[in-house]
Amino acid sequence: MSPKQKARKPRKPAKARALGNAAAPSKAGAPRRASPPAPASTPAPANARAPAGPERLEEEREEPLEPEVLAAENGRGAAFEAEDEGPSAATTLPVPVERDLARADALQRYMAEVARHPLLSREEEHDLAVRFQQTHDPELAYRLVTANLRLVVKIAHEYRRAAFNLLDLVQEGNVGLMHAVQKYDPFRGVKLSSYAAWWIRAYILRYLMDNWRMVKLGTTQAQRKLFFNLRKEQERLLAQGFEAAPKLLAERLDVSEQDVREMDQRLANDEFSIDAPVLGTRDEPRQTHGDRLVQPSAPIDEQLADQELRRIFKEKLAGFGKTLTGEKDRFLFENRIAPPDDREPMTLQQIGDLWGVTRERARQLEARLTDKLRDYLRRELPDFAQLSVNPPEET
């Protein structure tokens, strides 16, 4: 083949040849065959391209870019690695904290905010508490409160099984923590966290009792004791082989038997609105729970008898008024004993002031008129012989 034909023959690019050679794997352990040496006397064509060297192949090869890693300066890299491994024991929270706050819920964001506040040593806490007791500076109280927010989260997490939002329990616990900081005495030799735990639990438990049902529970000391201990004492008695009777429970818990019955019924039954509709068939009219309650009123026959007696009594009173001839007796009857329904009866003092007499004299005139009325009713209505017109005065 002549040099001109060799020059006209198309050749693969150097980049393609390099990638092809790199992609062809060699058999492990197989000896490479040496290519025969080219004759030194054969000159290369003038217009032929020189083979690409190793430097040119490295330049033309495309490789993916990798991020540049800088060396740690002043030992900061070790600190970052320690942070990536996880939170320290001092800042560990019961609820894990998400690093991406944009996708975290309200509870996760609050946990991240709590983790930002540093803890205080025993000496710093005592110094701040002493200064706050002397100056009542809100900044000092703020530092004491924020340093113990982790304690509130831990205690509130103990009541997470209750049917309430954990953030609501944390909020009530924070109120108890603020009260504890106000009342804390640093000279008692007790840590603030130990003292504040009682206040935090008290406020959380009070919130649970107030919102457990629509009708509040635990309004008295006996009810609070039964709310927390009734079910436990019943299980303890059953485990010992005793019947959990109300009398035995009242003796064990030092409360009345009636309180035990009431609290047992309130804890066993769910509350519902009496205005809620009752499910029934399509033919039945719509009813509510209140419609099915027994009305605490008298039977209908007793109501009719009472109305008839009132009508007869009013008629006899009107007849007695027509028999009165004295001006003062008629005035007392119409304004004191049997006034109209739309007007209040006058007092003895008002009548005495109107007539220019004392209150005692007005009472004597009323008593005389009442005796006349009683005699008239005995003659007209024998069944009213035991009727007392004036109710007995309280002594």
Q: Is residue 251 part of a domain?
A: yes
Those residues whose C-beta lies under 8 Å from the C-beta of residue 74, and which sit 6 or more positions away, are none
193 located within any domain: yes
Question: According to the model, what pLDDT value does residue 138 have?
Answer: 93
Same domain flag for 236 and 169? no
More confident residue, 64 or 266: 266
CATH number for 207: 1.20.120.1810
Question: In the chain, pLDDT over 90 holds for what percent of residues?
Answer: 24
Domain residue limits at 313: 309-384
Long-range CB contacts for residues 363-366, cutoff 8 Å, separation at least 24: 365/328, 365/329, 365/332, 366/332, 366/336, 366/337
Clarify whether residues 166 and 238 are in a common domain.
Answer: no
Q: Pick the range with the lowest mean pLDDT from 124-138, 161-175, 288-302, 308-322.
A: 288-302
- Over residues 38-96, the pLDDT tens digits come to 444 444 444 444 444 444 444 544 444 444 434 434 444 443 343 443 344 344 555 56
Which residues 6+ apart lie within 8 Å of 123 measured at CB? none
Mark whether 129 and 180 lie in a shared domain.
yes
> Would you tell me how many other CB atoms lie within 10 Å of the CB of residue 323?
10
Give the tens place of pLDDT for each residue, 329-353.
889 988 888 888 788 889 999 988 9
pLDDT band for position 170 (50/70/90)? very high
Six-digit token string for 64? 């993916």
pLDDT, residue 71, reads: 42
Say if CB 225 and CB 249 are below 8 A apart: no
**Cβ within 8 Å of residue 196, ≥6 positions away:** 148, 151, 176, 177, 180, 181, 184
- For the ranges 194-198, 291-295, 357-361, which has the lowest average pLDDT? 291-295
> What tens digit of pLDDT does each residue of 298-320 get?
778 888 888 888 888 888 888 88
Same domain, yes or no: 128 and 206? yes
**Domain-embedded: residue 85:** no
**pLDDT number for residue 43:** 46
pLDDT of residue 19: 42
**Structural domains of the chain, count:** 3
| 132: in domain | yes
Closest CA to 20 of 61, 65, 55: 61
Average pLDDT over residues 283-303: 72
Q: Quick one: pLDDT band at residue 103, thresholds 50, 70, 90?
A: low
pLDDT at 153: 93
Are residues 371 and 313 both part of a single domain? yes
Q: Are 155 and 200 in contact (CB under 8 A)?
A: yes
10: pLDDT strictly greater than 90: no
**What is the CATH classification number for the domain harbouring 323?**
1.10.10.10
Q: What is the pLDDT of residues 133-165, one digit of tens each?
A: 999 999 999 999 999 999 999 999 988 877 678
44 located within any domain: no
Q: Which residues lie across from 287 on neighbouring strands?
A: 278
CA atoms within 13 A on the CB side of 317: 14
Does the structure show a pLDDT above 50 at 321? Answer: yes
Token look-up 């040119």 returns 56
Instruction: For residue 182, tell me if it sits in a domain.
Output: yes
Residue 358 included in any domain:
yes
Q: For the ranges 29-38, 223-232, 294-303, which has the lowest average pLDDT?
A: 29-38
- 368 with 327, same domain? yes
The reply to whether 206 and 230 lie within a common domain is no
Same domain, 242 and 205: no
Are 174 and 240 members of one domain?
Answer: no
Which residues are paired to 278 by β-bridges? 287
Is residue 366 packed enough to be buried (19+ CB in 10 Å), middle (13-18) or exposed (0-12)?
middle
Element (H, E) at 278: strand 277-278
Q: Domain check: are 228 and 207 in the same one?
A: no
Query: Could you tell me if 182 and 205 lie in one domain?
Result: yes
pLDDT tier, 18 (very low <50, low <70, confident <90, very high otherwise): very low
State pLDDT tens for residues 185-229: 999 989 999 999 999 999 998 888 888 777 777 677 788 788 778
Provide the pairing of β-strand 287-288 with 277-278.
Answer: antiparallel
In a domain, 115, yes or no: no
Residues above pLDDT 70, as percent of the chain: 66
Residue 102: the pLDDT is 56
Is the model's pLDDT at 383 over the cut of 60?
yes
